[in-house]
Amino acid sequence: METEPRNVRRILLCTNPILRKKAQTVQRADKALRRLLDEMVETMEAAPGLGLAAPQVGESLRCCVVATPEDGPARKLVNPRIVARQGRVTDPEGCLSLPTLQGLVQRSRKITVKALDERMRPDTFEAEGVFARAIQHELDHLDGVLFIDRAIDGELAWQVPDETEEDGIRLEPVTVEEALEVFARLANERGEEG
């Protein structure tokens, strides 16, 4: 039995200038927007990741998709904004545009989000835990902010496979500057902007 081909898009590395620009407000729902959101879900799932913002796939639009295992299917958010925040929590965070890099980032524990769905219908909901963290991370992308901009100083590290570690990963400390140099070389090898 053949499976339908997936519409997976290339995820841009952090060095691409589009990831440092404020994304444009989505003005209307159309087939192109729905197709983009569907492709973003497929790209996020294939990566795999917990969220993906339109600028990460080269589209400067204020939309993102987020899915965490405990919160069900992917949520498609158009023109999202956080209208309330509660509590603070510091946890490790990574990003599909900065592969294998991790840092400790402080975020709100619980948030209230106002957004539109893919047909531009209003959607207001609360999120907490990993779901809230993922949404805040993706909304940062819509404003040209990367998690390394928010990471606690001295708490950035590469995730290096290591069979001697209990979870199979060893953390190797790195500075923001060193990490960005690595991503610039990688972007150059891939023939990407940056």
Give me the pLDDT at residue 71, please. Answer: 73
- Give me the amino acid identity at 75: R
Residue type, 143: D
Full-model pTM: 0.93
Confidence of residue 142 (pLDDT cuts 50, 70, 90): very high
User: Are 90 and 151 a contacting pair, CB within 8 Å?
Assistant: no
Q: Which of 156, 46, 57 is nearest to 101 (CA)?
A: 156
Hey, which residues are catalytic here?
Answer: 138
pLDDT tens per residue, range 79-135: 999 999 999 999 999 999 999 999 999 999 999 999 999 999 999 999 999 999 999
Domains of the chain: 17-189 (3.90.45.10)
Radius of gyration of the chain (CA): 17
Is the pLDDT score of 194 beyond 70?
no
Helix, strand, or coil (residue 32): helix
Q: What share of the chain is helix, strand, coil (3-state, %, to 5)?
A: 30, 35, 35
Distance CA 181, CA 173 (A): 15
The pLDDT of residue 1: 44
- Please compute the mean of the pLDDT values over residues 37-48 and round it to a whole number: 96
